[in-house]
Structures are given as C-alpha cells and as structure tokens.
C-alpha cells in the first residue's frame, strides 16, 4: 500500500487537471494513459507537417479563472481568433449562429413563410401550455417551430447521435443552452444593438499550435516533478476492491504488467470500461446498467490541399440529412501555424457507432463520400487533394437517450460507495462535458483528496449561465462540438 500516491486513469483534460492540482500541492501522482500522447479527445494531431485537433476544439468557459490558468501556461501562444462560422444548407452558406433575418431573407420565399408561420404558431401555443416536453425534438420544435428546427437542428442532431430526435433526452440541450431566449434571437435579428461590444461570441482564445498544447504543457509541468510518473501506452487490466475501497490496480503496457496500491484512485476512463475491470465484479444490476450506457463514435477524415485557403470559416455545419458528414473545419483559420503558408487542410467529421459501416470504411471511401459536397460547395476539388488520413475515436459522445440519466445514476451511485475513488471527466462521469468542465472535475477531485472534503463533481457543467448569451442559438451541437 502506498497511501500518499494518487493514481489517475486517463491523461486527458480531466486527468491532467487532477494531476496538476495535486502536483501544485506536492502530492505525488501516477498517470496511466492508453494513448501514446496526452490530451484525450482534446489533443492535436500532426500529419506530415499539418496540425489538426481530433475535432474542432474551441475553449469557452464561464469560469474566468480557467482563462488565467491557461494564459499562465501558454503565455503569448494563447492567441485570440476572430470567429467566423457558417451553415451550408441547400447549396448556400448562412451565418452561424443562426441569423434569423438572414435566413428569412435568403431562403426560398415558401420556406421563409413556413419558418415564420411555425415559429409564430409555437409562440402562440405557449399561451396554452400543456404539451409535454419529453424529447429533444419536443424541446426544439416548441422553441423554434418545426420548419426552422428541421432545417438547422434536427438533421444535424440525428447525424451526431444516430438516433431520432424523439429518442434523445432534452437534457442535452438544456444542459448546454439553459439561457436561450427566443426574445433575444428576434431582437438580435431585427433590432440589433448598435456598437455591441465584441465578446467571446465574436472571438475566442486558441493555442497557436492546436488545442492539445494546453495539455502538453500541463504534462510537462506534472512530469517535471520527481516522484510523479506518466505511463503512456498503458491501461488498467484489473481494479481490485474490498471494504468499500479500491485496494489495487493492475496495469499493463501490452508486454509488462505493473501494480499500484494507491491511497486514492481518480478515473477519467469510460465508466462503462471501469465497471468491467472491477474485481470482484459488481452486482448484476450494476453491470446491466453499465452495459446499457452507449457512446457515439467519431471518424474524422483529414485532407491536405494544394492551395493556400479553402474558405475563411473556422468551421461549417452541414445539417442536410443527405450529406454523409456533419461538419468541416479548416484548422488554418484557427491559427496560421496549423498548415504551411501555401497549403491548407480540412477536417471532415462523420459521426458513427463503433464498428459500423462508417467506422470501418476505408479512407478512400470516406473521401469519395465527401468529395461531391466539397466540390459543390467550392471548398475543395479532387485535384487539389494532396493526401488524406483518418482518425477514429470510439468514446466521443455519451449518448443521452431517454433513459440515460437513471441508468448512469445507478452506476455512479454504486461507484460512489468506494471511499477512495473519484470519477471525473466526460466519459468517466458519463456527462456531456466540455473541456472546461472536464478540467473542473479533475481539479475538484484533487481538492477533495487534498482537503479531505466532498465536492459535488456532478455540479461542474450545470451552472445556469454556462454559455454566453447571444451565442446560444442552435448550439445543440453542444459547445460547438
Ligand atoms: C468532435 C468533438 C469536438 C469537441 N469540441 C469541443 C469544443 O469545441 N470545446 C470544448 O470545450 N470541448 C469540446 N469537446 C469535448 C472535449 O473533447 C472533452 O470535454 C474533453 O476532452 C474531456 O476530457 P476528459 O479528460 O474528460 O476525457 P478525454 O478527453 O476523453 O480523455 C480521457 C483520457 O483517458 C484515456 N483512456 C480512455 N480509456 C482508457 C483506458 N482504458 N486506460 C487508460 N487510459 C484510457 C484516453 O486515451 C484519454 O486520453 C469536443 C469533443 C468532440 C468529440
């Protein structure tokens, strides 16, 4: 037994934040990370001199201290970017977040009429409440009217989740956009405030060489301290417990096994995997609950292009159900350092289930599927493509179906009975957290150990005013995810 040691599973934003906080207070920690680099979903990949995040990652937080924290880590490598993002719908680009006025003026007249009609009918319906809001579809249709919801939200959301919107919990949208004010949308569209100060709606912070820099930098600081260890390409194979405590974690790097008997265990690995590793196994109802929790996966096609720019947008949404992918990002529009001066690149995101046809598709198949739309939209032609690469993430999105909450609570309540265990992060808590909240859960878990005090880790990410007002409309893709 090594009571002073805190073992951390996963070196993504949550795990590294826990390690950072412990290190700041001179508490020894060891990290076990299955990848060959840190950062998890928030890491930056390098392909032949071109950089890209695994998916576009914009840092945003209501927690201003996190900005100061990252600025302290990155200094002048934490740059400000003027935001420009769009939708591509039926052959045309539209501003994102939705500008209602632009949509009404530029869409076909018949469509604009239907948008306005449905919107007004839904508003009028609010005077006679009664229709229950059970699903995500109920929520957005009642907020925006059927036609607008269909065009910009429902198709895209179904692509992300692979489920009909009637089977998705409204928690997803309420967790992300609690302060959505339809009144504000109308006011912004038709009576915009003059000289509105620039806010994080219009610009955002980003590390000059990709989001992963933040976590690389944290890793440097943690591993510089004697006694701390980072075990890459390693994963737990058994988590032994008894008397409501985790007693031993057996890990492997594929060849060699090594054991830890930590005073505390902090885990950010998918909670579904964690449960399977427990020895002895949890009761049957807990295993069944854990096995019914699902994650949506992410397949990203990265193409390098023989031209200096594809567009001036950071990212573009493709909500049409007929388009196989959901979003296209141009990393160079986030930071010039992401691509050589005379070249650019695009990251094309497909949402899928682990092991399905998209997950298994060959890179050239994915390129074939993407090219007609890239060509039609003017982003890239076949002859401009130099090389292409595919990156896959199995645990991208915890799926918020209509039953997820009770099921996840069953599992988390059981794991809560282990006194020296803390669950953190997005997959670790099965919670739709962004980077800032993942970091907060890691920091809070570390503090709860250092101060021997309980913090409510579930609370991170549920503050009322999470997103800045005005930026909220149609952020159903969850914090720009
Ligand atoms: C496409 C996409 C776009 C996104 N965009 C944004 C955005 O714009 N802004 C934002 O704030 N957030 C965004 N996010 C969310 C952000 O990526 C996550 O909130 C954040 O990375 C969660 O951090 P984490 O440490 O909890 O989990 P992860 O990033 O998943 O890290 C978990 C770590 O645990 C490791 N691990 C997993 N299993 C094991 C195992 N068995 N053994 C050992 N190690 C293991 C993983 O390799 C990983 O390093 C986006 C996510 C996606 C998928």
Model confidence pLDDT, tens digit, residues 364-376: 999 999 999 999 9
Average pLDDT of span 382-406: 96
Length of the chain: 481
Average pLDDT of span 1-24: 97
Model confidence pLDDT, tens digit, residues 319-348: 999 999 999 999 999 999 999 999 999 999
pTM: 0.92
**C-alpha of residue 202 to centroid of ligand 1, in Å:** 25
Contact 210, 42 (CB under 8 A): no
Residue 176 near ligand 1, beta carbon < 6 Å: no
Q: Compute the distance between CA of residue 479 and CA of residue 57 in angstroms, rounded to an integer.
A: 9
Model confidence pLDDT, tens digit, residues 225-274: 999 999 999 999 999 999 999 999 999 999 999 999 999 999 999 999 99
**Which of 21, 161, 216, 268 to mutate for ligand 1's pocket (most ligand atoms within 8 Å of CB)?**
268
- pLDDT, averaged across the chain: 90
Please confirm whether the linkage preceding 280 is cis (ω < 30° from 0): yes
Confidence class of residue 132 from pLDDT cuts 50, 70 and 90? confident
pLDDT at residue 100 in the model: 85
Q: Whose CA is nearest to atom 7 of ligand 1?
A: 57
Give backbone dihedrals phi and psi of 465, rounded to 5 degrees, phi first.
Answer: -100, 50
* Residue 401 DSSP code: B
pLDDT at residue 462 in the model: 58
**Which of 9, 13, 17, 42 to mutate for ligand 1's pocket (most ligand atoms within 8 Å of CB)?**
42
Domains in the chain with CATH codes: 2-40+210-293+401-450 (3.50.50.60), 99-190 (no CATH), 295-398 (3.90.660.20)
Residue 470 has pLDDT above 60, yes or no: no
Atom of ligand 1 nearest to the CA of 54: 1
Q: Compute the distance between CA of residue 224 and CA of residue 183 in angstroms, rounded to an integer.
A: 52
Atom of ligand 1 nearest to the CA of 39: 49
Q: Compute the distance between CA of residue 328 and CA of residue 55 in angstroms, rounded to an integer.
A: 9
Q: What kind and span of H or E run contains 390? A: strand 385-398
pLDDT at residue 182 in the model: 59
Residue 268 near ligand 1, beta carbon < 6 Å: yes
Longest dimension (CA), the chain: 72
In degrees, rounded to 5, the angle at the alpha carbon of residue 79 between the alpha carbons of residues 97 and 74 is 130
pLDDT at residue 179 in the model: 44
Higher pLDDT, 12 or 193: 12
**C-alpha of residue 395 to centroid of ligand 1, in Å:** 8
Residue 302 has pLDDT above 70, yes or no: yes
Residue 58 near ligand 1, beta carbon < 6 Å: yes
Nearest alpha-carbon partner for 479 in 198, 211, 213, 289: 211
Residue 479 near ligand 1, beta carbon < 6 Å: yes
Contact 394, 295 (CB under 8 A): yes
DSSP state string for 159-195: HHHSS-GGGB-THHHHHH-TT--HHHHHHHHHSPPTT
Residue 32 near ligand 1, beta carbon < 6 Å: yes
pLDDT at residue 292 in the model: 97
Residue 312 has pLDDT above 90, yes or no: yes
Residue 445 has pLDDT above 70, yes or no: yes
**C-alpha of residue 275 to centroid of ligand 1, in Å:** 19
**C-alpha of residue 181 to centroid of ligand 1, in Å:** 30
Confidence class of residue 417 from pLDDT cuts 50, 70 and 90? very high
Residue 33 near ligand 1, beta carbon < 6 Å: yes
Q: Whose CA is nearest to atom 37 of ligand 1?
A: 269
Q: Percentage of residues in the chain with pLDDT exceeding 90?
A: 78
Residue 299 near ligand 1, beta carbon < 6 Å: no
Contact 246, 279 (CB under 8 A): no
Residue 210 near ligand 1, beta carbon < 6 Å: no
């Amino acid at each position: 037994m090594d009571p002073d040691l805190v073992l951390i599973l996963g070196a993504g934003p949550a795990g590294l934040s826990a390690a950072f906080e412990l290190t700041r207070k001179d508490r020894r920690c060891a990290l076990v990370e299955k990848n060959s680099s840190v950062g998890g979903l928030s890491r930056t990949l390098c392909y032949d001199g071109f950089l890209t995040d695994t998916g576009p990652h914009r840092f945003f937080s209501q927690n201003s201290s996190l900005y100061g924290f990252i600025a302290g880590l990155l200094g002048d490598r934490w740059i400000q970017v003027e935001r420009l993002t769009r939708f591509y719908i039926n052959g045309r680009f539209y501003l994102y977040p939705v500008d209602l006025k632009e949509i009404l003026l530029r869409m076909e007249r018949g469509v604009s009429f239907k948008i306005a009609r449905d919107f007004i009918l839904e508003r009028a319906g609010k005077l006679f409440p009664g229709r229950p809001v059970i699903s995500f579809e109920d929520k957005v249709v009642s907020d925006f009217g059927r036609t607008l919801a269909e065009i910009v939200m429902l198709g895209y959301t179904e692509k992300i989740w692979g489920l009909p919107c009637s089977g998705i919990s409204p928690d997803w949208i309420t967790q992300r956009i609690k302060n959505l004010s339809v009144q504000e949308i109308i006011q912004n569209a038709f009576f915009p405030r003059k000289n509105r100060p620039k806010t994080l709606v219009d610009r955002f912070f980003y590390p000059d060489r990709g989001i992963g820099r933040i976590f690389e930098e944290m890793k440097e600081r943690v591993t510089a301290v004697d006694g701390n260890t980072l075990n890459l390409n390693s994963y737990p194979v058994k988590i032994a417990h008894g008397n409501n405590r985790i007693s031993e974690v057996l890990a492997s790097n594929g060849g060699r096994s090594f054991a830890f008997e930590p005073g505390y265990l902090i885990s950010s690995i998918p909670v579904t995997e964690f449960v399977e590793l427990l020895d002895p196994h949890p009761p049957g109802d807990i295993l069944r609950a854990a096995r019914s929790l699902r994650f949506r996966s992410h397949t990203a096609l990265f193409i390098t292009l023989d031209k200096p720019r594809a567009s001036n947008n950071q990212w573009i949404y493709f909500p049409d159900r007929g388009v196989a992918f959901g979003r296209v990002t141009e990393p160079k529009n986030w930071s010039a350092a992401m691509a050589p001066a005379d070249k650019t690149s695009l990251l094309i995101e497909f949402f899928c289930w682990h092991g399905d046809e998209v997950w298994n598709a060959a890179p050239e198949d994915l390129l074939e599927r993407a090219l007609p739309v890239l060509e039609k939209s003017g982003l890239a032609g076949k002859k401009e493509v130099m090389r292409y690469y595919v990156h896959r993430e199995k645990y991208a999105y915890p799926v918020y179906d209509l039953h997820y909450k009770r099921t996840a609570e069953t599992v988390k309540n059981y794991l809560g009975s282990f006194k020296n265990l803390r669950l953190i992060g997005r997959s670790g808590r099965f919670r739709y957290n962004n980077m800032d909240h993942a970091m907060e859960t890691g920091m809070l878990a570390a503090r709860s150990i250092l101060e021997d005090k309980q913090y409510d880790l579930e609370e991170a990410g549920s503050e009322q005013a999470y997103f800045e007002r005005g930026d909220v409309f149609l952020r159903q893709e969850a914090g720009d995810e």
